[in-house]
Structures are given as structure tokens and as C-alpha cells.
Amino acid sequence: MRIVISIAAMQRQARQWQRAGKRIGFVPTMGYLHAGHLSLVKRARQAVGKSGIVVTSIYVNPTQFGPKEDFPRYPRDLRRDLKLCREAGVDVVFTPSDKEMYPQVGSSRCDDRTAQRAVPTQFSTYIVEEKLSKVMEGASRPTHFRGVTTVVAKLFNIVLPDVAVFGAKDWQQATIIKHMVADLNFPVKIIVAPTLRERDGLAMSSRNKYLEGDLRRQATVLWRAIQAARFAIRKFPVPQHRLKAQLKQLIESEPDAKLDYVEFFNSETLVPVSTVRFQIHMALAVFVGKTRLIDNGRL
Ligand code: AMP
């Protein structure tokens, strides 16, 4: 497995593969890998075949964090990540520094910086999706998707993938990326792979590391809320406001859980529905202690 840290080297390598007719499958991540990430690697391998190339990027992107968010303490363990990638059959790990991705930052060290200071001051070109990114995560985290679409576009220009795999765990993100690719004609096929869960239903996430003591148990309330919604609509459609009130009560019956939002919407357009029925998509964000968790599912 090759580890690449320079953009120029990654692009050179990708062009060589293109010339050799090899298909490139790409899995962008922020590292601290878990089985959910590795399932995307497996899906990418499936898509490009044995003769294809699987590239995983590990990069905690400062521009997608708000100034008061967890960028400085986001979990990192590159040595462990590289071992997991090697075992999963990744061909290349692209793990650039902040200085490489946003040269104007001036430093690759991001451990003790605030997210705001880590965001480059001279970097001035962003990709902004103007519709789907306004709701849910975008409403709670106003500059988040601008950072996501910008870094994903940069990574696509660096890795030159034929296919890229994203997790359904971040449903809105995957939907926005699909739209970006269609709107801006990136020659990349987007695959959305299912959410991997712990045995008790908690969606796997690097941020689960923050859940100490009883918070880990309380965090299963997101999954329980999705199941409760499925149960509530099993016979008849239910008005969204009634289901929201019911789920808020369920969630906040946990002592340290606070609902940020729960929404019911069309899975492709993200347009909210007034009546919740079978096959409507649900997404929610919940603070469990200080940790903000998200989950979603089709009802
Ligand atoms: P992250 O490292 O959190 O930015 O996630 C990198 C990719 O892994 C994104 O496409 C996520 O949607 C995906 N992902 C994260 N958690 C899971 C999970 N539990 N199951 C499947 N995919 C996931």
C-alpha cells in the first residue's frame, strides 16, 4: 500500500493509472476508521474490480467545521488507520497536510488550533450548493456543506476517481455530493453504501469515541427513534408535527439527550412532507451530552 501526502504526486499517479486504463475507486474519510468506513472500501473494490485501484483519503478538513465545533479534538490515529487500510486491501492512502490542501494556512499542525484559525485566510474559492444544503445539517451548521463540497471537489480533482463511495449515514451529504457531481459535470459515479451499526443499533461513527459512561447507552436513542417512527406509521400515515412531538419526548426522556432536529422528507429532493408514511425518509440530530450525533433511515 502506498501512502501519498503530496497533491502533485497523487495527481501524477492518478493520470498514470488513467493512461493504463485502470479504474479508480475513491473513499474520502476523515480517518479514525471503523467498520463503516471499511465497508465503503469493500464497495469501492467491488466497483473497480481486482485490476482497479482503490484510493482512500484521510483528511480532517478544517473548512467543514464551525468555529466552536470539535475540529481541534476530532479523534486521529493515522498509524491504526493505515493498518486497517492495508488489511482492507486499499492500494493508496492519500493523507495530505492542511498546508498541502490549503497552502495559505501556513502550518500542517492542527492539533491545538481552533477551527477558525485553521481555516485559510487567503483561500477564496468555495463550491456552494444552494438548495439542499440549507436544511437540516445546513441549518444547524451554516458553513458545513460549503466545506464538504469544496474539499470533495478538490479531492476529486486530485484523485481523479471513476467512482466514489459515500455512506448513507450522512444522507444529506451524499445527496448534496450527487447533485454537485451532476450540476458541475464531474466524470465520477457516486455510490451510496448502507449505514453500518453497532449491535445495539448505534450508527458507527468516529465521534462515538466521545461517548463515555452512560452516554454510550443513551446514544442508542437515535436508532430507537427511527424504529419508533417506523412503528408509529405502520398502519396509517401520521402528521409530521405529531410524530416530531412524540419522538422529541422519547429522545429527551434520556437524561443527557437533547433533540437538535428531526425531519421527514423525500429521500431524493430532501423536501419535507406534511404527512409521514411508508418510504418517507427520516433524519435526526441529537446532542448526547456534548456530542452531536446524526442518523437517518427510510421508514
Ligand atoms: P467521515 O470520516 O465521518 O467523514 O466519513 C467518511 C465516509 O464514511 C462518509 O461517506 C460517511 O458517510 C461514511 N460513514 C461514516 N459512518 C458510516 C457508517 N456507520 N456506515 C457507513 N458509512 C459510514
Reported confidence tier of residue 112, pLDDT bands at 50, 70, 90 = very low
Question: What was the pLDDT predicted at 48?
Answer: 98
Reported confidence tier of residue 108, pLDDT bands at 50, 70, 90 = very low
Q: Is 293 exposed, middle or buried (0-12, 13-18, 19+ CB in 10 A)?
A: buried
Reported confidence tier of residue 119, pLDDT bands at 50, 70, 90 = low
Alpha-carbon span 12 to 138, nearest angstrom: 35
Q: Which of 186, 191, 101, 110 is nearest to 147 (CA)?
A: 101
Burial 265-274 (b: 16+ CB within 10 A, else e): bebeebeeee
Question: What was the pLDDT predicted at 103?
Answer: 84
Element spanning 144, H or E: helix 144-159
Q: Is the dihedral of CA 59, 62, 65, 67 positive or negative?
A: positive
Rounded to an integer, the average pLDDT of 1-12 is 98
Alpha-carbon span 14 to 191, nearest angstrom: 20
Question: What was the pLDDT predicted at 135?
Answer: 96
How distant, in Å, are the alpha carbons of 185, 190, 242, 275 from that of 178? Answer: 10, 6, 32, 26
Greatest mean pLDDT among 84-88, 123-127, 206-210 lies in 84-88
State the distance from the centre of ligand 1 to the C-alpha of 209, rounded, in angstroms: 14
13-17, 61-65, 117-121, 190-194: range with lowest mean pLDDT:
117-121
State the distance from the centre of ligand 1 to the C-alpha of 229, rounded, in angstroms: 23
In ligand 1, which atom is closest to the CA atom of 194?
21
Reported confidence tier of residue 121, pLDDT bands at 50, 70, 90 = low
Residues of the chain with pLDDT > 70, as a percent, come to 94
- In contact, 163 and 44? CB cutoff 8 Å: yes
How distant, in Å, are the alpha carbons of 27, 36, 136, 291 from that of 39? Answer: 10, 5, 26, 24
Distance of CA 129 to the CA centre of its chain: 16
Q: Whose CA is nearest to atom 6 of ligand 1?
A: 29
Q: Whose CA is nearest to atom 19 of ligand 1?
A: 204
Rounded to an integer, the average pLDDT of 194-203 is 98
Q: Which of 97, 72, 92 is nearest to 82 (CA)?
A: 92
In ligand 1, which atom is closest to the CA atom of 207?
3
State the distance from the centre of ligand 1 to the C-alpha of 22, rounded, in angstroms: 25
State the distance from the centre of ligand 1 to the C-alpha of 131, rounded, in angstroms: 23
Reported pTM: 0.94
Mutate to test the pocket of ligand 1, among 26, 27, 29 (most ligand atoms within 8 A of CB): 29
State the distance from the centre of ligand 1 to the C-alpha of 134, rounded, in angstroms: 21
Element spanning 7, H or E: helix 7-19
- Residue pLDDT, tens place only, 149-192: 999 999 999 999 999 999 999 999 999 999 999 999 999 999 99
| Active-site annotation, residues | 37
Rounded to an integer, the average pLDDT of 119-123 is 67
Mutate to test the pocket of ligand 1, among 85, 90, 169, 200 (most ligand atoms within 8 A of CB): 169
Residues framing ligand 1 (Cβ under 6 A) = 29-30, 36-37, 39-40, 166-167, 169-170, 193, 195-196, 203-206
Rounded to an integer, the average pLDDT of 244-251 is 98
